[in-house]
Amino acid sequence: MKKIFIFALLAALILACGDKKESPSEKIKRERKEKAEKQASQVDNGLGIGEITEVKLNDPLDQDMVKRGKAIYEMKCAACHKLKGSRVVGPSWAGLTSLRKPEWIMNMITNVEIMLAEDPTAQKLLEECLTRMPNQNVSIGDARDILEFMYQNDLDNPTK
């Protein structure tokens, strides 16, 4: 039984490395080159990829939005993101609003899969965290509330 299994495994490996027009490693190299060229041609403007192209910020912050945003944070975000201190599952939100543009943040929340697939900053974070942020199905209005809460959080917990 074991011999059959080993034989089958070897056969599968040999078949997988079969004679094709473009070998798998060549294909991967070509795709990587194309991807790098595509990314170089796109100017990373830090806005992220998604529906959000411009966010109007409030000064002073809208406290109703902050309250709603906090409630959503506690339910959908707190399991992975802390408000201050270091990263747990996902990055901490300390100083987030100074670090990232508001458009990026909202695109990250509302367009997670595309961001993880194509945005260079998101991909760098993914390499550090190794856990893929799941799509929490947050509406744009809710994401805006979360963003307001983030601004409040950075006021409450200023990073040195």
Partner 1 sequence: MNSRVLLKPILTSLLAFILAAGLGLALRWAFVIDMPVWFDYKNIQHAHSHVALLGWLFAIFCLCAIHFFDLDFGRYARLYWALQGCVVGMLLTFPIMGYASLSIIFSTAHIVLSYFLAYRIWKDVGGRKKDDGVSVLFLKSSLFFMVLSTLGTWALGPIMAAGLKGSALYYASIQFYLHFQFNGWFIFAMIALVLAIFEKRGIAMDPSKIKLFYRLLLLATLLTYALAITWSTPYFSIFVINSIGVLLQLLSLVVFMKLLYDQRQNIRGVFSDYTYRMFGIAFLALVFKVVIQTVVVIPALAEVSYTIRNFVIGFIHLLMLACLSLFALGCIGRVFQRSLHIYGTWTFISGIVLSELLLFVQGIMVWQGWGIMSNYYLMLASASALILLGIVLIFVDLYGKRRSITESSISN
Applying CB under 8 A, the residues found at the interface with partner 1 are 2, 5, 25, 28, 32, 71, 74-76, 78-80, 82, 84-89, 116, 123, 126-127, 129-130, 132, 134-137
Take residue 158 and report the two structure tokens written for it.
């200023």
| Contact status, residue 131 vs residue 122, Cβ threshold 8 Å | no
Least distance between partner 1 and beta carbon 49 (Å): 17
Least distance between partner 1 and beta carbon 74 (Å): 4
Alpha helices in 1-160 (DSSP H): 2-16, 24-41, 63-72, 96-99, 102-110, 112-118, 120-129, 140-156
Take residue 37 and report the two structure tokens written for it.
């060229």
Q: Which is nearer to partner 1, 72 or 105 (CB)?
A: 72
Q: Which is nearer to partner 1, 46 or 134 (CB)?
A: 134
